[in-house]
Chains A and B, each alone.
Chain A
């Protein structure tokens, strides 16, 4: 990592700002609480680690390096909010740091648009950043609205974890941080299920919708059977699959009967609400899978009646469990 002084280039990607801006609103709320400065740069598509990578590795590498160079010019490391952007930028960055010949070849193209990349910056996923750079102890001290009525299944998504060969922060077969986040930061109940690290199916939605939805449904059935009342993801593409696609799956009578429907949240949406954000202000109402009334409670309304004479009110600025 370069010396960032709390400033980072925020790589929003394509999906979050222009399809799911509510995920960006929740993230900016959290970052403001943490006193971090995010810099918006004129990034293009990362590009997609599946489609564009499969079409032309040269195009994929070159456009990714152009984005890396934009952050490097400002002396900033990159934080990504999307597994796909993380995969592309982290993968390309790691390869170029270890392959001077390839870096020189890409730079011979970048020079034609007056850019150069020296491979000096780092790329980090927001969920890794919160665990490694902020720390869950600090985060948990900022919780004013513990999400204790949530029973949450985590879907990590493939591109936050694989391939392991490029240096990933967690073991892809048994990742732990987001589960710890659910239990120890936002204070919900983690609901484990069988195929936790299986793909969500979004990657082939355009080419084989039936196969894509079958995979998603299979995972939701497992989560619901285990008792989950919410799903959380660190990726907007996975979010679209568990939100919009789940809605479509429920509409298809033949398969819809096997799941009852479970609301999905990007992980910073849950963190923002636990930190006191008003769910309306961060755009939870734009979700297609609507949470049941009462599941979401902003800090203003967080008072739990335990007995006629005892009202516990969660107050702002302290963690009742710490």
Chain B
């Protein structure tokens, strides 16, 4: 999906602000304002991704989907914000913590590689050894999807 397709989805927005009123982050950080993101995208030219350059606050979305479920115009707001972040990521605008999360999966297949103390704790709790993921398969799929 490109910016123009996202704009087509957003254009029925009449700025009622239900999305911002529903946003848990907007309550505590006014920079994270879904209605403002929508208006910024609608006001940008369709080929211009500069709208994403200052979109650090966009990554503060927790994908709670409250805005999407409540939008009176039926706009899939959270889904569109995810698609915007996908475009931003392809242009390198991605927070370090998200990059690090992906790197951890590439290295381990999970986001929580087991440490010694946790393995000891599992033993104390009589928990079984767990089958480990097929790391080469996971790495291959990540490579294929990020580089096609």
Interface residues of A (CB under 8 A from B): 12, 14-15, 17-19, 21-22, 24-25, 28, 40-45, 47-59, 62-63, 66, 109-110, 112-113, 115, 158-159, 162-165, 172, 197-199, 201-204, 206-208, 210-211, 214-215, 218, 281-283, 286
Q: Smallest Cβ distance from B84 to chain A, in angstroms?
A: 9
In the complex, chain B residues whose CB is within 8 Å of the CB of A25: 125-127
In the complex, chain B residues whose CB is within 8 Å of the CB of A55: 85-86, 89, 94, 98-99, 101-102
Q: Smallest Cβ distance from B119 to chain A, in angstroms?
A: 8
Q: Smallest Cβ distance from B136 to chain A, in angstroms?
A: 8
Given that A163-B68, A163-B69, A211-B29 are contacting pairs, would A53 and B105 also be in contact in the complex, using a CB cutoff of 8 Å? no
Q: Is the CB of B132 within 8 A of A42?
A: yes
In the complex, chain A residues whose CB is within 8 Å of the CB of B141: 59, 62-63, 66, 109-110, 112-113
Q: A-B pairs with the 5 shortest C-beta distances?
A: A203-B62, A162-B65, A158-B64, A206-B97, A44-B133
Q: Is B110 an interface residue (CB 8 A)?
A: yes
Q: Is the CB of A57 within 8 A of B125?
A: no
The residue on B at minimum CB distance from A163 is: B65
In the complex, chain B residues whose CB is within 8 Å of the CB of A218: 27-28
Q: Is the CB of B62 within 8 A of A52?
A: no
Bound form: Cα–Cα A110–B144 in Å: 10
In the complex, chain A residues whose CB is within 8 Å of the CB of B138: 44, 63, 66
Q: Is the CB of A158 within 8 A of B29?
A: no
Chain B interface residue bracket vs A: 35 or more
Q: Smallest Cβ distance from B44 to chain A, in angstroms?
A: 19
Bound form: Cα–Cα A164–B27 in Å: 23
Bound form: Cα–Cα A164–B69 in Å: 6
Give the residues from 57 to 78 in chain B that come closer than 8 angstroms, CB to CB, to chain A.
Answer: 59-66, 68-69, 76, 78
The residue on A at minimum CB distance from B98 is: A51
Q: Is the CB of A56 within 8 A of B89?
A: yes
Q: Is the CB of B112 within 8 A of A207?
A: no
Q: Smallest Cβ distance from A116 to chain B, in angstroms?
A: 13
Bound form: Cα–Cα A40–B131 in Å: 7
Q: Smallest Cβ distance from B141 to chain A, in angstroms?
A: 5
The residue on A at minimum CB distance from B113 is: A18
Q: Is the CB of A203 within 8 A of B63?
A: yes
Q: Is the CB of A113 within 8 A of B137?
A: yes
Q: Is B121 an interface residue (CB 8 A)?
A: yes
- Looking at the complex, which one of B27, B63, B66, B144 makes contact with A53 (CB distance below 8 Å)? B63
Bound form: Cα–Cα A12–B128 in Å: 12
Given that A45-B109, A164-B69 are contacting pairs, would A12 and B25 also be in contact in the complex, using a CB cutoff of 8 Å? no
Bound form: Cα–Cα A43–B131 in Å: 8
In the complex, chain A residues whose CB is within 8 Å of the CB of B60: 204, 207-208, 211
Q: Is the CB of B62 within 8 A of A50?
A: yes
Q: Is the CB of A52 within 8 A of B105?
A: yes
Given that A57-B83, A109-B144 are contacting pairs, would A50 and B63 also be in contact in the complex, using a CB cutoff of 8 Å? yes
- Looking at the complex, which one of A41, A48, A207 makes contact with B59 (CB distance below 8 Å)? A207
Q: Is the CB of A17 within 8 A of B130?
A: yes
In the complex, chain B residues whose CB is within 8 Å of the CB of A45: 105, 109-111
In the complex, chain B residues whose CB is within 8 Å of the CB of A44: 105, 109-110, 133-134, 138
